[in-house]
Structure 1
Amino acid sequence: MDNFRRLIQILVTVLTNAYLLFPFGSVIYQGPLKSLCHPGLHCYSCPAALLGCPIGAFQNLLCTVRLSMQAGTIQFGASIVGYLGVFGVLTGRFVCGWLCPFGLVQDLLYRIPSPKVKLPAFLSYCRYLVLLLLVIILPLFWIDELGMGQPWFCKLLCPSGTLMGAMPLLLLKPSLWQSIGFYFWNKFTIMMLIIVGSVFISRIFCRTLCPLGAFYGLFNRVSFLSLQHDSEKCVHCRACERRCPTGCLPYKNPNSADCIRCLKCLQACRFGALDYKLRSGVSVAFPRRTEH
């Protein structure tokens, strides 16, 4: 199952970054597909990107909300929130485990042989602070003399934007090096810390700083796809806990906001104590480990 998930991650990343004319055109694809958002963390400015970034699009709407109100229209990004909400209601954080390009980057980095470090659980709350402060509050209330805000998550933190957007653009257009300053080097430093940290700590960005993961995580307890724990079958061997890439305890909290629906716990359980079901009670036929 893990190999199948990795294949899906790679296919989604390749297919949503399939604009191969960037060396010959305007570098960034700006066709009709760019009006659609990727459900995962996906940089709009990546030269090969066909889809937009949901966090960036939501921030841009909040940045211009005052101007839109002055023009007689009010746009708070309801369509984008609704779009992401559909994914959240249906599957919770399934997008994080299966469809997010930067999730794939972290998974591959964690495969590098190295001592592995356990992340303190309280750090998972930091992603909600990022969502509230950098994605919503600052773009909405910290405005310039024209009444516009700034997309602060993209500007200050987003490692996907630096890795897949800024760095390829600098390689394709060396003249851009003259315009880089504090914001680039700040984000570059953060990106390098996350890359190095991902070698030692599984999904470090997803668990501590990703606002998209924070948003999807809000739906884990109510999504149609849910993880069910059968206490009568569970022997508390904690194999599911050891396999979980985000530090969840499926036998205690099967639909934790940290769960990325990667199914590793399902594969680890030899006693059938875990099962993914729809809210109607219908089991989802995922392959599972069996005793011989």
Structure 2
Amino acid sequence: MYVWSVSELADKRKNRLRLWVQLIWTALTNGYAVGFVKGTIFKGPSKAFCVPGLSCYSCPGALGSCPIGALQAVLGSGRNKFGFYVLGFLLFIGALLGRFVCGWLCPFGLVQDLLYKIPFFKKRKNLPGDKILKWMKYVILVLLVILLPLLVVDFVGQGQPWFCKLICPAGTLMAGIPLLAANENLRAAAGSLFALKAVILGLILLLSVWVYRPFCKYLCPLGAVYGLFHPIAFYRLKVDTDRCTRCGACQKACKMDIPVFDKPNSMDCIRCGDCVRACPVHAITSTLSHKKTGR
């Protein structure tokens, strides 16, 4: 009979804590149940404010706005005052938490985490070509989120939210499918573009059973924004170079496959805390810890 050690029990409790935070946050920010029943979108005053994670504005249950969707909307419309709010929000959250948002507060991150737990396929951390594929999210950020909404405009000077329109799997899963399921007219109007997005969503969900968080690693522009702040964010990881033996236990535990002993504030880190718990000499702490470290 296997007996759990004290450290293993602590790890299980902390993993459950993260899961509960993800579930509760998703329920709180997407809690307009009437919208799912009637196939309508919540239009209350809270929709003027962004939530930290990738959460589609058009989701029937969404009580706030997605910062990436809002950024595209203001870039394409030229609404400067609201644009200052969105940019300020991204700067504030990035400088405060970085990609902690991805690990703890993003609804689509939760979906990927749950799918990866399914005991099917031999699990992988990365796709082949991982080092090159990781740059795709920055290309998507610059091209689809920033440049196209600014430069490709209609006859009245309005741009479109190209990332939301062409790719965003969170929008397809949390908004498109529920709205079409509840609204016959929308189902009749859905065309090839929605079919394309459904295929993209299906591929990402299938990959998520096999590879840990493929959307977060390779495609998410919001994660790209937050990751840029990791070297300077208020919440950072620190490695005590005097304690660290470079044994690699942190990288082995990290599902994002980061050599934490060398890159504690990698732009790919989602701040899940697995590396901190895995370190056998307790060399990894955070800026919120009391223990002093060497880096």
TM-score (norm 1): 0.90
- What is the aligned partner in structure 1 of residue 277 from structure 2? 267
| Aligned-residue identity in percent | 47
Secondary structure of 2:238 counterpart: strand
Cα-to-partner distance string for 1:16-65 (whole Å, 9 max, x where unaligned): 11112225667111011111111100011111111111111111111112
1:30 aligns with 2:43: yes
- Tell me how far apart the structure 2 counterparts of residues 273 and 171 of structure 1 sit (CA, whole Å): 50
Give 1:104's match in structure 2, choosing from 101, 106, 110. Answer: 110
- What is the aligned partner in structure 1 of residue 10 from structure 2? none
- Tell me how far apart the structure 2 counterparts of residues 31 and 162 of structure 1 sit (CA, whole Å): 22
Give 1:179's match in structure 2, choosing from 182, 189, 199. Answer: 189
- Tell me how far apart the structure 2 counterparts of residues 146 and 224 of structure 1 sit (CA, whole Å): 42
Conservation of the 8 A alpha-carbon contact between 1:55 and 1:212: yes
1:163 aligns with 2:173: yes
1:88 aligns with 2:90: no
Secondary structure of 2:122 counterpart: coil
Q: Give the C-alpha shift of residue 102 in structure 1.
A: 0.4
TM-score (norm 2): 0.89
Q: Give the C-alpha shift of residue 122 in structure 1.
A: 2.3
Q: Give the C-alpha shift of residue 2 in structure 1.
A: 1.2
Relative distance call for 1:210 and 1:23 in structure 2 (3 A) is closer
Secondary structure of 1:275 counterpart: strand
Give 1:198's match in structure 2, choosing from 208, 218, 232. Answer: 208
Secondary structure of 2:30 counterpart: coil
- Tell me how far apart the structure 1 counterparts of residues 290 and 163 of structure 2 sit (CA, whole Å): 38
Query: What is the identity, as a one-letter code, of the residue corresponding to 1:54?
Result: P
1:39 aligns with 2:52: yes
- Tell me how far apart the structure 1 counterparts of residues 105 and 91 of structure 2 sit (CA, whole Å): 15
Relative distance call for 1:27 and 1:242 in structure 2 (3 A) is same
Unmatched tracts of structure 2, length 5 or more:
1-13
Secondary structure of 1:267 counterpart: helix
Conservation of the 8 A alpha-carbon contact between 2:36 and 2:61: no
Query: What is the identity, as a one-letter code, of the residue corresponding to 2:96?
Result: L
Query: What is the identity, as a one-letter code, of the residue corresponding to 1:252?
Result: D
- What is the aligned partner in structure 2 of residue 115 from structure 1? 122
- Tell me how far apart the structure 1 counterparts of residues 160 and 192 of structure 2 sit (CA, whole Å): 15
- Tell me how far apart the structure 1 counterparts of residues 85 and 208 of structure 2 sit (CA, whole Å): 33
Q: Give the C-alpha shift of residue 273 in structure 1.
A: 1.1
- Tell me how far apart the structure 1 counterparts of residues 178 and 201 of structure 2 sit (CA, whole Å): 14
Q: Give the C-alpha shift of residue 231 in structure 1.
A: 2.3
1:283 aligns with 2:293: no
Relative distance call for 1:237 and 1:32 in structure 2 (3 A) is same
Secondary structure of 1:225 counterpart: coil
- Tell me how far apart the structure 1 counterparts of residues 72 and 222 of structure 2 sit (CA, whole Å): 12
- What is the aligned partner in structure 2 of residue 290 from structure 1? none
Deviates more, 1:159-168 or 1:31-40: 31-40
Give 1:223's match in structure 2, choosing from 224, 233, 249. Answer: 233
- Tell me how far apart the structure 2 counterparts of residues 154 and 220 of structure 1 sit (CA, whole Å): 25
Conservation of the 8 A alpha-carbon contact between 1:62 and 1:76: no
Query: What is the identity, as a one-letter code, of the residue corresponding to 1:37?
Result: C
1:239 aligns with 2:246: no
Conservation of the 8 A alpha-carbon contact between 1:61 and 1:75: no
- Tell me how far apart the structure 1 counterparts of residues 185 and 283 of structure 2 sit (CA, whole Å): 58
Q: Give the C-alpha shift of residue 121 in structure 1.
A: 2.3
- Tell me how far apart the structure 2 counterparts of residues 23 and 3 of structure 1 sit (CA, whole Å): 27
Q: Give the C-alpha shift of residue 94 in structure 1.
A: 0.7
Query: What is the identity, as a one-letter code, of the residue corresponding to 2:234?
Result: F
Unmatched tracts of structure 1, length 5 or more:
69-73, 286-292
Aligned length: 275
Cα-to-partner distance string for 1:73-118 (whole Å, 9 max, x where unaligned): x457221111121111112111011100000001011111121223
Q: Give the C-alpha shift of residue 148 in structure 1.
A: 1.1
- Tell me how far apart the structure 2 counterparts of residues 28 and 48 of structure 1 sit (CA, whole Å): 7
- Tell me how far apart the structure 1 counterparts of residues 151 and 15 of structure 2 sit (CA, whole Å): 43
1:20 aligns with 2:42: no
Conservation of the 8 A alpha-carbon contact between 2:39 and 2:178: no
